[in-house]
């Protein structure tokens, strides 16, 4: 069952860029914007990452860190981060443990075929590790501004 607003997020350890592993409890004491994207180095995912990068200083000023996650392998994540110059870590969730905990694996239709994929989603976690906001089925344009406003609203 997926984590719900008001609940403590699960503490799942995953490979992260920068040759390390990361679990959400490592980030306690800071707010976390955790965003899931379908596939590294695709146009929408690239734009979303660039938008988050552009807001990184504003979020850092609000004691908030950004973490991206997808089912891509760690090598693909490293390449994506390096090529785009993202200033935050990307997680490799090949086994879908984090994806399932946040219920972002959905049936998608492309060219009449159904497949399971990551639904673009963002989650705002407070400094105590409690889920405070979620956005599902995200459209990239304007999304990061909405997230920034929600972080400011947390006070």
Task: Kindly list the domain boundaries of the chain, sorted by start residue.
Answer: 14-153
Mean pLDDT on 63-76? 97
CA-based nearest residue to 32, from 120, 151, 124, 145: 124
Instruction: Give the pLDDT of residue 120.
Output: 95
- What pTM does this model have? 0.94
Looking at domain 14-153, does it have CATH number 3.40.50.10540? no
Instruction: Give the pLDDT of residue 112.
Output: 86
| Burial letters 110-145, b for 16+ CB under 10 A, else e | eeeeeeebbbbbbbbbbeebebbbbbeebebeebbe
| The 14-16 sheet, strands edge to edge | 20-22, 14-16, 89-92, 64-70, 31-36, 121-125, 131-136
What does the alpha-carbon distance between residue 38 and residue 41 come to, in Å, rounded to a whole number?
10
Each residue of 104-154: pLDDT tens digit?
Answer: 999 888 788 898 889 999 999 999 999 999 999 999 999 999 999 999 999
List, by residue number, the catalytic residues: 45
Instruction: Give the pLDDT of residue 110.
Output: 76
What does the alpha-carbon distance between residue 45 and residue 63 come to, in Å, rounded to a whole number?
24
pLDDT-based confidence at 69, cuts 50/70/90?
A: very high
């Amino acid at each position: 069952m997926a984590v719900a607003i008001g609940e403590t997020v699960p503490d799942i350890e995953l490979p992260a860029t920068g040759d390390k592993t990361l679990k959400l409890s490592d980030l306690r004491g800071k707010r976390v914007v955790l965003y899931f994207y379908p596939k590294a180095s695709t146009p929408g995912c690239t734009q979303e990452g660039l938008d988050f990068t552009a807001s990184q200083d504003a979020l850092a000023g609000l004691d908030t860190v950004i973490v991206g996650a997808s089912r891509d392998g760690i090598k693909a994540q490293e390449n994506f981060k390096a090529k785009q110059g993202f200033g935050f870590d990307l997680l490799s969730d090949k086994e879908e443990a984090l994806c399932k905990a946040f219920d972002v694996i959905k049936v998608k239709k492309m060219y009449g075929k159904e497949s399971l994929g990551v639904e673009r989603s963002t989650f705002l976690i407070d400094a105590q590790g409690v889920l405070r906001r979620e956005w599902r089925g995200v459209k990239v344009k304007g999304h990061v501004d909405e997230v920034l406003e929600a972080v400011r609203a947390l006070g």
